[in-house]
Chains A and B, each alone.
Chain A
Amino acid sequence: MERLPSRLRRYVAAIRAVAVLTVLLGLVYPLVTTGVAQALFDDHADGSLVLAGGREVGSALIGQSFTGPDGEPVRKYFQSRPSAAGYDPTATGASNLGPEDVVDTLPTPGEEGRQSLLTQVCARSKAVGELEGVSGARPYCTPDGVGAVLKVFPGRAVSVNQPCPATPFTASYRGLKVECATPGEDYAAGRTVPVRGAAGPPAVPADAVTASGSGLDPHISVAYARLQAARVAGERGLDRAAVERLIDQHTTGRALGFMGEPAVNVLELNLALDRS
């Protein structure tokens, strides 16, 4: 070593350093950690798997969709939040749509179109409202479940998410007659005006109409669980109070009283219902 030129010596040391540290930090450290973790907390380390009737039905930490083969909610189960990943742990992620993503691309023959985040929220709210028998109305949403958004031009206003022949959610805007939208027409030049409307506080909670970060959120809010209790109780011929007691049992409060938000684990709640 000492006889090599100093630059070469430096690179030999660098190669050796990478090799030695890779063995120590890349192999020994994770292997020892795995060994100890498996010895102390094997259930957690293996993914908190949940059994029902002797077979594995999922993980207590990973959400599932409780829908049938047709994609419709199975009525006897509590439903999870919307997911941008379809609850697939091999393709996790969020929608990444922005807070002012309010204009849809309407489908035309040959083009699929794209729903804005606002329309997704409105459509989910309407669907949940219908499923639970409550109003799905919310601010900035039309009665037919899309974003209430106008594109305003000089002398002209278009309800841009409502394709003709739909009736626009409002007849006029500042003296302009509001038209329905023609799919394929370019409205980009108009000024975007979301319209709040008269809807009060919505009956459908926020977590029921928004997708999570991971796409695997195992929880719903206590409010969303209570909203679903009547349907689930009716479907199963159970007393509503009994279902609400189960909700309470599967609600995790804030850790130490102040960390995070109270949440209901949907898979565990549904399993408890199946057992009762």
Chain B
Amino acid sequence: MSATAAGALFVVSLVVALALVHRPLGDYMHRVYTGARHNAAERVLYRLLGVRADAEQGWAVYARSLLAFSLVSLLVVYGLQRLQDRLPLSLGMEPVTDHIAWNTAVSFVTNTNWQAYSGESTMGHLVQMAALAVQNFVSASVGMAVAVALVRGFARRKAETIGNFWVDLVRGCVRILLPIAFAGALVLVSGGLVQNFAAPHEVTTLTGGVQHITGGPVASQEVIKELGTNGGGFYNANSSHPFENATSWTNWFEIFLILLIPFALPRTFGRMVGQLRQGRAILAVMGVLALAGVVLTNVFELSGDATVPQAAGAALEGKELRFGVSGSATFAAATTLTSTGAVNSFHDSYTPLGGMMPLVNMMLGEVAPGGVGAGLYGMLVLAVITVFVAGLMVGRTPEYLGKKIGAREIKLASLYFLVTPMLVLTGTALAMGSAEQRAGMLNSGPHGLTEVLYAFTSASNNNGSAFAGLTVSTPWYDVALGLCMILGRFLSIILVLALAGSLARQSSVPEGAGTLPTHRPQFVGLVVGVTVVLVALTFLPALALGPLAEGLS
């Protein structure tokens, strides 16, 4: 079988597997978030937290609880890193320096998981599992909570409340993420991932050299890193490291984990608003954009159209042989179409157009299918904008799922869309305007600009993948990218929750002859179009100076 045919089958098998599981999982998540009963373990947790699980919250209280939880998380993750040398299982590592600790804490709390650190030489086992892996769970659960809160806004009539943050947080962790993570971790260990508490241990190689075989609770962290669309690796080499991704089938399984929840949430959405076809329309938008992203990345990488890949004979620089070019390209697409940012190959060495695709995927706003939760709420905001645009074009009253899209709603949706481009373009401009920051680029010319643009796109979209050539472990980049991550995450979340609150308060308008049907292929096409046009208008000038200039010259 040719590499292209095998790569195509690889993608098809993923599509089939996701098609099979998205219904049962989506239905299950619907029951998790709408069920009235708390199980025994959860009742114990609520008592320990000291919260009243049956008290509903308005959007402002929901948002404040979320922000309080994230702020405390930030301080704890920062503190554990700074006190690392006094904790057990530190492997003799020094405390993490202040700007890297800040960047890492922000990055994990915002579900970005940008790696400003090198895992094996910076973080001991305890910091990895008690600081970083915990955030892998809870930041994912926070994302799902916000998505569910927004959907409640659509589903409820004349309601002042949108749910209870603490309940959504706990249920997401305990009923959804934890069981899948536990089973998935064992699957990964069976494929060869390590799971121990050993310090690096010395062996003498066949030719008499010395090698330190590293250990750690890797599988338990790897699985939630993919499932929660986090992406911060246990090791510097992330999912290209054989101990994080041992075989070609663990590679398949990790891509499957990345896409699992984001593609199941539209089903949950459909169930919650009582119209499964609305969920199918959203899923179709995600599917069309995702498939385009995966196929294009594969085509560009397999063609190997650039000087070095032509000289080498294939775009294999920065790629592992067991995954091959296609298994690497598909992973790269999946990790940037969601907000994961894990890498199994190094995007900086991709062909110019192949390396542009991860960038474009992130610029789409990570809605196809996007990060856990973040993808769904991002896509619903785009649907709101689409309804508004379509309304303007044909003179129909904008409404979506029986809710009027009025001035307040469209202001919130537009502000949401503007957050990331503002951060990306301002950040890149500031960096390029200073000789000191330009010195951080590894490559010169258009490729260097792409490195910087990639870094700010990745941080502001809470992706966390890196073009990697750029030296970002400097105080300026750590602080600037940290601010992008915080604003990119929490400004967006506040706007989404405000939108949820405003929608929940409305009563339902009956569907009339002037209502735009939002479950037909026509609407799917409209949302895809609006997404692509908005992104192209915003980012084309920057892309033209970076990857396009490099690829077309």
Contacts and interface: CB of A to CB of B under 8 A. Distances in A.
A41 B192 CA distance: 9
A118 B306 CA distance: 11
Given A97-B349, A118-B308, A212 B240 contact: yes
B3 interface: yes
Nearest to B350: A99
A138 interface: yes
Given A20-B48, A56-B203, A96-B469, A214 B197 contact: no
Contacts of A65: 205, 207, 209
A41 B189 contact: yes
A100 interface: yes
Nearest to A199: B311
Contacts of B138: 21, 25
Interface string B316-348: 111111111001100000000000000111101
B65 A10 contact: yes
A210 to B, nearest CB: 4
B73 A34 contact: no
A55 B212 CA distance: 14
A26 B127 CA distance: 9
A34 B197 contact: yes
Contacts of A184: none
Nearest to A23: B130
Interface string A91-102: 111111111111
A61 interface: yes
A40 B186 CA distance: 9
B419 interface: no
Contacts of A217: 242, 320-322
A158 B182 CA distance: 60
Given A26-B129, A96-B348, A100-B352, A260 B247 contact: yes
B321 A18 contact: no
B124 to A, nearest CB: 13
Interface stretch (A67-75, A126-134, A159-167): A67-75
Interface string B380-412: 000000000000000000000000000000000
A57 B309 CA distance: 34
Contact of A46 (B3, B198, B311): B198
Contact of B192 (A61, A99, A255): A61
Contact of B205 (A57, A69, A255, A260): A57
Interface stretch (A175-183, A226-234, A242-250, A267-275): A267-275
Contact of B207 (A20, A74, A210, A261): A74
A205 B316 CA distance: 11
Given A98-B443, A255-B247, A210 B252 contact: no
A12 interface: yes
Nearest to A81: B321
Given A14-B72, A96-B468, A258 B194 contact: no
A215 interface: yes
A156 interface: no
Given A44-B192, A98-B348, A14 B71 contact: yes
A1 B181 CA distance: 34
A61 B242 contact: yes
B430 to A, nearest CB: 23
A89 B322 contact: no
Contacts of B349: 94-99, 117
Interface stretch (B5-13, B97-105, B360-368, B496-504): B5-13
B28 interface: no
Interface string A77-90: 10001000101111
Given A16-B48, A45-B195, A52-B206, A117 B211 contact: no
A142 to B, nearest CB: 11
A180 B241 CA distance: 41
Nearest to A211: B317
B319 A68 contact: no
Nearest to A197: B311
B334 to A, nearest CB: 14
B318 A89 contact: no
Contacts of A258: 1, 5-6, 9-10, 13
B283 interface: no
Contact of A99 (B166, B186, B351): B351
Interface of A: 1, 7, 9-18, 20-22, 24-27, 29-30, 32-34, 36-38, 40-41, 44-49, 52, 55-59, 61-69, 74, 77, 81, 85, 87-102, 117-118, 121-122, 138-141, 147, 194, 196, 201-202, 205-207, 209-221, 252, 254-261, 263, 267, 270-271, 274
Given A25-B134, A61-B192, A259-B10, 19 more contacts: A13-B65, A25-B137, A47-B214, A48-B246, A49-B203, A96-B318, A98-B355, A99-B315, A99-B317, A100-B445, A101-B447, A117-B308, A117-B317, A210-B319, A214-B241, A252-B247, A257-B6, A260-B327, A261-B322
Interface of B: 1, 3, 5-6, 9-10, 13, 45, 48-51, 64-65, 68-69, 71-73, 76, 118, 120-121, 129-131, 133-134, 137-138, 166, 169, 173-174, 178, 181-182, 185-186, 189-198, 200, 203-209, 211-215, 217, 219-221, 235-237, 240-243, 246-249, 251-252, 306-324, 327-328, 343-346, 348-352, 355, 442-443, 445, 447, 467-469, 550
Closest 7 A/B residue pairs (Cβ): A260-B248, A213-B240, A261-B324, A99-B306, A26-B130, A92-B237, A206-B313
